[in-house]
Amino acid sequence: MDIVIPLFDRFEPLDAIGPYEILAHVPGATVRFVAPEPGLVQDVLGALPVHVPTGYSEVEHCDVLLIPGGRGARTLAQDAGFLDWVRRVHTGTRFTTSVCTGALVLGAAGLLNGLDATSHWGAVAELEAYGAVYTPERVVRRDRIITSAGVSSGIDMAIRLAALLSDETTARAIQLHTEYDPQPPFDTGSVAKAPAEVLERARTLARNLPRPGFPPAGARG
């Protein structure tokens, strides 16, 4: 069972690493990372360079394609070569999936037109511009396509996917092994629950993400 996760400059680390941690435990599964070009890619936070030895063009098919998000996803959504590859690979997958703004790539590839889908709450307008019908759920499955909301929701999606790829007992065991038992200290994990001042602070934090090669806004040195 071949699971492929593309990485790219300015990817959101938990979008990729969270599902990787879950799916790597699925019996018989191999998780591979690919990139636009073999070599180093840099995460959106600016401190996690990852060496990816395989270019996406080397992959002809896979069982699961998982597109993470991050600011770099918007660049990929305008990359005609990458979108052609996504469309080709999707024809043979068991499941094509996304986390966060990775849904914009699926949308740009034409895979979400007319479908219910989810993404990060800050990308709703962009998602719907690709013809998707935004649904404020954490994980949305429509046949072979599964989208998940922002960042941490990729773990929820991966556990559901683990059940589809194996069985529910195995997925439950993976959840237990990773001790995924969320007990957040604050009940502000969705737009529906967050007060106005928290929502505005979240938007400020997103605007102030560092650019690779530059210090974060407000950093000293």
Confidence of residue 210 (pLDDT cuts 50, 70, 90): confident
**Position 35 confidence tier, pLDDT thresholds 50, 70, 90:** very high
pLDDT digits (tens, 9 = 90+) for 167-191: 999 999 999 999 999 999 999 999 9
Hey, what's the torsion of the CAs at 102, 107, 111, 115, to 10 degrees? 100
- What's the whole-number mean pLDDT along residues 100-127? 98
Residue 214: is its pLDDT beyond 70? no
Q: How confident is the model at residue 217, as a pLDDT?
A: 35
Rounded mean pLDDT, 4-17? 98
How far is it, in rounded angstroms, from Cα 153 to Cα 29?
A: 21
Q: What is the predicted pLDDT for the residue at 59?
A: 98
Q: Which of 4, 100, 109, 140 is catalytic?
A: 100
Tokens of 83: 């979108």
The confidence score (pLDDT) of residue 211 equals 61
> Which H/E stretch holds residue 30?
strand 30-34
- Specify the length of the chain in residues: 221
Instruction: Spell out a b/e string for 58-83, using b for 16 or more CB atoms within 10 Å of the CB, else e.
Output: ebeebbbbbbbbbbbbbebbeeeebb
N-term to C-term CA, the chain: 47
The pLDDT of 74-97, averaged and rounded, is 98
pLDDT at position 209 is 82
Residue type, position 198, single letter: V
Q: Minimal CA–CA distance to 161: which of 85, 94, 104?
A: 94
Binned at pLDDT 50, 70 and 90, residue 23 comes out as very high
Q: Kindly list the structural domains of the chain, giving each domain's residue range(s) and its CATH number in brackets, ordered by start.
A: 2-177 (3.40.50.880)
Average pLDDT, the chain: 94
Q: What is the pLDDT of residue 220?
A: 28
CA 62, 64, 69, 74 torsion: positive or negative?
positive
| Whether residue 128 has pLDDT greater than 70 | yes
- Rounded to two decimals, the pTM is 0.93
| Residue 19: pLDDT over 90 | yes
- Percent of the chain exceeding pLDDT 90 equals 93
| pLDDT greater than 50 at residue 110 | yes
Cβ-contact 97, 65 below 8 angstroms: yes
Q: Is 62 a known active-site residue?
A: no
